[in-house]
Amino acid sequence: MGSLEGLQQKRFNTTLFQYLLIFAITIFLSGSLLHYYLTKKLITPIKDLIDATKQLKKGKYPSPAEETAQGEVGELVTHFNGLVRQLKAGDENRQKMIADLSHELRTPLTNLNGYLKALRDGDMEGNQALYDALHKEARHLTDMTEQIELLKEWGDMSSRVYTEYNEADMAEVIEQCAVMFQWKLEQEQLNIRVEVESCNMSIHRDGIRQVISNLIENAIYYYQGEGTISLKGTWVNGYYHVSVSGPGERIPEQDQDQDRIFERFYRGDAARSHKTGGGLGLAIAKEIIEQHNGRIGLTTDAFDNVFWFSLPVGRT
């Protein structure tokens, strides 16, 4: 029995060793496969990011990397794709801005050069009307330059926290803007009706003045027909709503629905003159209002165009 027990023990040890060997090999192979899978899952998005970075370095915008990874790597891929989209959009906007600016500057510069060359060569004689026209073109160029600088300033503000907001009474701000246009309204023989409610709120005073002034100037500049320009300010459901309305040429509905009227240098009709063409005033207004976490828009009917914006009263 003793020898039999020893033989059984030997067989048991051999069988146990075989099972342990099989188990160890299985664990090793499973661990290797799992390690390969996890490593590939981790390395692949990083390799894609490296390739995308190389393309970006060459000035090419890569296709978005697959956002299949989880955790920190997945978050890195998401942020990288967002950065590429932001850079691409910024580059497209810059190119569009340069093209639009070139288009806008070409006509007044051509006019100035043509008239000045004719005066220099003696092909025409100067008079008060001509000098007024030349001054108007020069003023147009100066205003455009100032607007570009202002638009750039507010565009830069949108990328950082801007803290120069102060308590102000919106009724006081609106009335001050209306007073500034009193002389111009008298010259144009136009009337303005101001109806405002008092409301203290935190705003960038100069920025909001710029918006209101742009809208009033827009109403005067495009005035057409008969009627009174109306400037209203009301406090409704936690928002302060400001509107400037006046009779003018009806703006197409597609331009209103898509907010294209607020694009830089947008022209609703390519055949329009400078008087009815695109500009930067409304684009600046939109930039400032969005910086205040507000909304801006346009509604129109058969008689009046109504430009409006709303600011949250409780904005922090």
Amino acid, single-letter form, for residue 192: I
Instruction: Band the pLDDT of 197: cuts 50, 70, 90.
Output: very high
Say which residue, 304 or 161, is predicted with more confidence.
Answer: 304
DSSP H helices, the chain, are 2-57, 71-121, 128-157, 170-180, 182-188, 205-221, 253-257, 281-291
Percent of the chain with pLDDT over 70: 78
State yes or no: pLDDT of 244 exceeds 60.
Answer: yes
- 100 closest CA partner among 52, 147, 132: 147
- 85 closest CA partner among 65, 100, 58: 65
Q: How far is CA 59 from CA 45, 63, 73, 88, in A?
A: 21, 13, 24, 10
- Beta strands 295-300 and 304-312 are antiparallel
Q: Which residues of 69-100 are buried (b: 16+ CB within 10 A; e: fewer)?
A: beeebeeebeebbeebeeeeeeeeeeeeeeeb
- Can you tell me whether residue 18 is helix, strand or coil? helix
Residues 220-238: tens digit of each pLDDT:
888 888 888 999 999 888 8
Q: What is the pLDDT of residue 196?
A: 92
Residues 250-307: tens digit of each pLDDT:
776 655 444 677 776 665 544 344 443 446 778 888 888 888 889 998 888 767 888 9
Please provide the average confidence, as pLDDT, over all residues in the chain: 77
Four-CA torsion 203, 208, 212, 213, nearest 10 degrees: 150
Rounded Cα gap, residues 217 and 223, in angstroms:
10
DSSP state of 234: E
Rounded Cα gap, residues 150 and 114, in angstroms:
30
